Structure 1
Amino acid sequence: MRIGILGTGNMADALGGQWARRGHDVTIGGRDPGRAADLAQRIGARAGTLAEAAGAADVVLLAVPHAALRSVLAAVPLQGRVVIDCTNPVEHGRLTDDRISVADAAPGARVVKAFNLCHVDVWRMTPPVFGGRPLSVPLCGDAVDVVAPLVEDLGCRPVDAGGLDRIGLLEATAAFMIGLWFAGEDAQAVLPPLPA
């Protein structure tokens, strides 16, 4: 699959590197061409501008800080693309007041919220398995079927968690869990396993 990654930070590195190693055609696009080139070389991808990364892709990963999301979405045409949003509108364990709906800001894109519940180091694991169970990754949006195989490529289990109307719930869950982790709590221990 052709994957364009918008961003050059840790999530771009972790997810982009995993997908490149699994044979996907990955292009890194960044606001800083030097950082994009360095990351692309490190993970075995190509580098380009934000627009080039999006334009060459079947799927686009938004891996920029939430504060930069508005300017990136205004600068890059995403119509007709599947867009994975892994950003979190969270500061200090709380949802920010400046939340952005990627579906509204990128009309014509097919948006999926995913990969936002785990720390970046989890996405560097091959595969992320805990207590013998592969990590489950909730997917909310209107192109879950396209993104699910990319989740499986990481050794994880995709979970269809609903449509675009459930993205806010997934973001609120991230804020809640991040708050617990920063407080030193084991967030995974909050809910019992399904057999219970």
Structure 2
Amino acid sequence: MKIGIIGTGAMSTSLAGAWTRAGHDVLAAGRTSLRTAASHGDLILFAVPAAAAPGIAAELADDLAGRTLLDCTNPIAPGPAGPLLTVPPGSSTAAALASAAPGAAVVKAFNLCHASIWTLDPPVFEGLPLGVPYCASAQEAAARTAALITSMQCTPVPCGGLDRAPYLEATAALAIGVWFAAGSPRAMFPPIAQVPAADPQ
């Protein structure tokens, strides 16, 4: 796949490396060459601060039309007990991107893990490939995202349409807070194979 990346920070660098290792053609660009990246491929990653993302998407709306826009941003700010969402209840940065670039098919993905996780080759934990959740309403965009995740030797985890992106962004805020408190979010979710069958009574 040809993938353009908007942004040059840690997430951009680590995901670009992971995708390059997986055999994809990746081009990352900073502020002075955003249109070059936005028109590079079928998938375009937004790896910029969440607050700035909709404005940038609006500027590049024509270039993004017909492409899959991957949103890995997290609209969070520090709070007394961990990160807090900075978007109104029920809304999401992903939805704001979809409004700013209506010709693009927005997918919420790659927002749960720290940038360093994507430097692992491959990211495997306790013998299991990393699951990568994503929210997408457009079927083709969902298929492209699932194929991209699989190429990284990770497991695609479809979480519904883009209307469910607020839950994925809230999950990131919760997980980051648990990590910073030296906890393990993974320990909160038992493997489905080990969940006792529900009592029919």
What's the TM-score, normalizing by structure 2?
A: 0.85
- How far apart are residue 150 of structure 1 and its match? 1.0
Contact 2:7 2:30 in 1 (8 A): yes
Counterpart residue type for residue 76 of structure 1: L
Deviation by residue 1:137-157 (Cα, 9 ceiling, x = unmatched): 111012211111111121100
Where in structure 2 are the equivalents of 1:85-124 lying within 5 Å? 85-92=71-78, 93-97=83-87, 99-100=92-93, 101-124=96-119
**Match in the other structure for 2:135:** 140
SS at match of 2:112: coil
Contact 2:71 2:109 in 1 (8 A): yes
Contact 2:43 2:68 in 1 (8 A): yes
SS at match of 2:28: strand
Tell me whether 1:127 sits opposite 2:111 in the alignment: no
**Match in the other structure for 2:24:** 24
CA–CA separation in structure 1 for the residues paired with 2:117 and 2:171:
17
**Match in the other structure for 2:171:** 173
Counterpart residue type for residue 102 of structure 2: P
**Match in the other structure for 1:56:** 40
- How far apart are residue 66 of structure 1 and its match? 1.1
CA–CA separation in structure 2 for the residues paired with 1:112 and 1:24:
19
Deviation by residue 1:154-174 (Cα, 9 ceiling, x = unmatched): 110001111111111111111
Tell me whether 1:5 sits opposite 2:11 in the alignment: no
Tell me whether 1:83 sits opposite 2:73 in the alignment: no
Contact 2:68 2:104 in 1 (8 A): yes
SS at match of 1:67: coil
RMSD: 1.3
SS at match of 1:61: strand
Aligned residues: 180
Deviation by residue 1:39-92 (Cα, 9 ceiling, x = unmatched): xxxxxxxxxx11111112111000111122133112212111101000000112
- How far apart are residue 123 of structure 1 and its match? 0.8
Deviation by residue 1:103-125 (Cα, 9 ceiling, x = unmatched): 11211111110110111111111
| Unaligned 5+ runs, structure 2 | 195-201
Counterpart residue type for residue 84 of structure 2: R
Deviation by residue 1:5-44 (Cα, 9 ceiling, x = unmatched): 000001110111111222211111211x5xxxxxxxxxxx
Equivalent of residue 188 in structure 1, options 177, 186, 189: 186
Contact 2:55 2:100 in 1 (8 A): no
Tell me whether 1:72 sits opposite 2:60 in the alignment: no
What's the TM-score, normalizing by structure 1?
A: 0.87
